[in-house]
Structure 1
Amino acid sequence: MTPPSEIDDRLTRFLSDQLDGVGARVVGLNRIGVGRSRDNWVFDLVTDRKGTEHREPLILRSDPDGGLVDTDRNVEFALLGMLENSDLPTPGARWLDADGRWLGRPSLIMQRCPGDCDYRVLSDSQRTITQRRALAESFCELLAQVHSTDWQALGLSAVLDGSGQLGAPAELDAWEKVLRQNQLEPLPELDFAIAGLRASAPEPARTVLVHADFKPGNILLDGDRITALLDWELAHLGDPLEDLGWVTQPLRRGEHLIDGAWDADDLIAHYEGATGFEVDRTSLRWWQAFSTFKTAVMQVSGLRSFLDGRSDEPFRPTRRVLSTLLDFVVKEDLR
């Protein structure tokens, strides 16, 4: 792990260069934890312009030595810049060190928005059921807003691949590629799932901006107010049911649903009301199965990273993940 003093020195030099010689100080540098794919450091940038001190809260996101999935800082940075022209609550992109020449590893610096992340906020016993249900509805409305974003007007296809095949077959191919690059042993359960998923892949409902990792843990809350949707590293153009499958799959139930107050049917109905689009339940079940497959592939990638000495957490496909996936393929007859 790079020591904070070195990060501080690198940041100061990089920001001074980007600011054309304006004196830059890094204040309050603090590592806020390792996302499963990025290292995150918060700090304030302090500059002095004509005797007036300016302070800007920022966050540094750097590629770790290893994680669950590899993504591209160039794409994430460009996307955040374009989304500043939308109504979505996203942090502004400030600077990019694409090749890590300054900061040691590919990194981006973005605005730090107010609020906190809590991936278990919908099960927070300090909130009433009514408050938690209201939050769940606001999360669902935010997802609907993502899918309603006019990606063509924003020119997102220049950053997110808008050509060629989109939707279920393309995503299955992409994640099978990640699996094959990282697996260390035979995984017949995943081979069986791939065959079933490929044979039953649905046609896309429509093409939208897909977040691909939508969850409370990627949403900043200031009280009950959403201030930002974070972690756009997996975003792409695709089928909106991909995100809906992710948030309604059984493995993520504790994050997105509330027992007795907000189940998957409630979420889907609220989404339909917010978007005006009817959700095809058969296609949605395919995407729920795909989401469990994607979870398993991330764990395979994480295990490879650990064994290569690039991360310190030994992920591996759990029996719960594999059995949930096989239940989908067999019970839903995805063959």
Structure 2
Amino acid sequence: MTAPAEVGSRLDGFFRNRLNGADPQVNGLQRIGVGRSRDNWKFELTLQRDSAEQTEPLILRTDPPGGLVETDRQVEFTVLGLLEKSDLPTPAARWIDADGTWLGRPSLIMQQCPGDCDYRVLSDPGRTTAEKRELAEKFCELLVQVHAVDWQSLGLETVLHNDAGYGAAAELAAWVRILRQDQLEPLPELDFAIDYLTRSAPRPSRTTLVHADFKPGNILLEGQDITALLDWELAHLGDPLEDLGWVTQPLRRVEHLIDGSWEADDLISHYEHVSGHTIDRASLRWWQAFSTFKTAVMQVSGLRSFLEGRSDEPFRPTRRVLTTLLDHAMEDLS
């Protein structure tokens, strides 16, 4: 883990290079635990301009030596910049050190939005069932808003273009490549799942912006109000059922559902009502299975990163992940 003193020194050098004459001062630097695949640091940047002092709270988002998934800070930075023109509540992108020349590793600096995130907010005993249901509906409506973004007019295809296409087959192929690159041992359960997923991949329902890691842990809240949707590192163009499969798969239940009050059927029905789009349940089941497969592949990558000394957490596909994935496949094959 990088020491705060080193991070502060690097930030100081970066800003003095970019903001010559503004006497930049970095204060209150603190590593925060938001985000499991990036290192995140919050701080305040104070500048002297026209004899006036200006202070802005910012977030440094930097690549760790290794983690669950490898992504591109330049792509994330560009996506955030384009999304500033949309109605989505996203942090503004401020600066980027794409190759890590100044900050040690590829990094971006973005606006620090107000609010807090809580992975388990929908099971928070401090909130009433009605409050949790209200939040769950707001999360669902935010996902509808993501999928309604006019990605063509924003120019998102210029940075998110994929020659392989924007549907199930393309996403499956991408994650199979990651698996083959990172796996250290035979994984017959995943080979079985790949065969099932390949043979049953659905056609795209439509092409939208896909967040690809939509969850309460990536949403900032002030009370019952959403202030920002974070972590756009996996964003791409694709089938909106990908996000819906992610939020309704059994492995994410505690994050997205409320026992007896907000089940998967409630979430999908609310999405249909708000978006005006009917969800094909058979295609959704495929995406739920794919989401479980993707989780397993992330854990494979995390294990390799740990064994190579690039991370300090020994992720590996758990029995629960593999059993859930096989249950999905066997249910559809039976």
Shorter-chain TM-score range: over 0.9
2:39 corresponds in structure 1 to: 39
1:244 corresponds in structure 2 to: 244
Deviation at 1:198, TM superposition (A): 0.2
1:199 corresponds in structure 2 to: 199
Q: Is the 8 A contact 2:164 2:170 kept in 1?
A: no
Letter in 2 for 1:115: G
- Tell me, in whole angstroms, the C-alpha distance in 1 between the residues paired with 2:163 and 2:68: 27
- Tell me, in whole angstroms, the C-alpha distance in 1 between the residues paired with 2:124 and 2:228: 20
1:176 corresponds in structure 2 to: 176
- Tell me, in whole angstroms, the C-alpha distance in 1 between the residues paired with 2:181 and 2:173: 12
Q: Is the aligned partner of 1:261 residue 2:251? A: no
- Tell me, in whole angstroms, the C-alpha distance in 1 between the residues paired with 2:162 and 2:70: 20
Deviation at 1:34, TM superposition (A): 6.3
Q: Is the aligned partner of 1:295 residue 2:295? A: yes
The superposition leaves residues 76-99 of structure 1 with CA deviations (integer Å, 9 ceiling, x where unpaired) of: 000000000000000000000000
Letter in 2 for 1:224: Q
The 10-residue stretch of structure 1 (31-40 or 73-82) with the greater mean CA deviation from structure 2: 31-40
- State how 1:1-335 maps to structure 2 within 5 Å: 1-33=1-33, 35-333=35-333
The 10-residue stretch of structure 1 (80-89 or 44-53) with the greater mean CA deviation from structure 2: 44-53
Letter in 2 for 1:266: D
Letter in 2 for 1:161: H
- Tell me, in whole angstroms, the C-alpha distance in 2 between the residues paired with 1:97 and 1:261: 45
SS in 2 for 1:58: strand
In structure 2, the CA distance between the partners of 1:164 and 1:192, relative to structure 1 (3 Å rule), is closer
Letter in 2 for 1:249: Q
The 10-residue stretch of structure 1 (108-117 or 159-168) with the greater mean CA deviation from structure 2: 159-168
- Tell me, in whole angstroms, the C-alpha distance in 2 between the residues paired with 1:19 and 1:276: 47
- Tell me, in whole angstroms, the C-alpha distance in 2 between the residues paired with 1:45 and 1:10: 13
What is the aligned-residue identity percentage?
71
TM-score normalised per structure 1 = 0.98
Deviation at 1:10, TM superposition (A): 0.8
Letter in 1 for 2:17: D
- Tell me, in whole angstroms, the C-alpha distance in 2 between the residues paired with 1:47 and 1:294: 43
- Tell me, in whole angstroms, the C-alpha distance in 1 between the residues paired with 2:333 and 2:214: 27
- Tell me, in whole angstroms, the C-alpha distance in 1 between the residues paired with 2:236 and 2:138: 22
Would you identify which runs of 4 or more consecutive aligned residues in structure 1 move more than 6 Å?
Answer: none
Over aligned residues, Cα RMSD in angstroms? 0.9
Deviation at 1:333, TM superposition (A): 1.4
Task: Give the length in aligned residue pairs.
Answer: 334
Letter in 1 for 2:303: L
- Tell me, in whole angstroms, the C-alpha distance in 2 between the residues paired with 1:28 and 1:164: 44
Letter in 1 for 2:333: D
**Where in structure 2 are there 5+ consecutive unaligned residues?**
none
TM-score normalised per structure 2 = 0.99
SS in 2 for 1:213: coil
Deviation at 1:51, TM superposition (A): 2.5
Deviation at 1:222, TM superposition (A): 0.9
SS in 1 for 2:33: strand
- Tell me, in whole angstroms, the C-alpha distance in 1 between the residues paired with 2:20 and 2:146: 36
Deviation at 1:163, TM superposition (A): 4.2
The 10-residue stretch of structure 1 (26-35 or 235-244) with the greater mean CA deviation from structure 2: 26-35
SS in 1 for 2:160: coil
Deviation at 1:19, TM superposition (A): 1.5
In structure 2, the CA distance between the partners of 1:21 and 1:51, relative to structure 1 (3 Å rule), is closer
The superposition leaves residues 182-235 of structure 1 with CA deviations (integer Å, 9 ceiling, x where unpaired) of: 100000000000000000000000000000000000000011110000000000
- Tell me, in whole angstroms, the C-alpha distance in 1 between the residues paired with 2:69 and 2:41: 19
- Tell me, in whole angstroms, the C-alpha distance in 2 between the residues paired with 1:13 and 1:223: 37
- Tell me, in whole angstroms, the C-alpha distance in 2 between the residues paired with 1:2 and 1:213: 26
- Tell me, in whole angstroms, the C-alpha distance in 2 between the residues paired with 1:236 and 1:113: 23
The 10-residue stretch of structure 1 (91-100 or 26-35) with the greater mean CA deviation from structure 2: 26-35
**Where in structure 1 are there 5+ consecutive unaligned residues?**
none
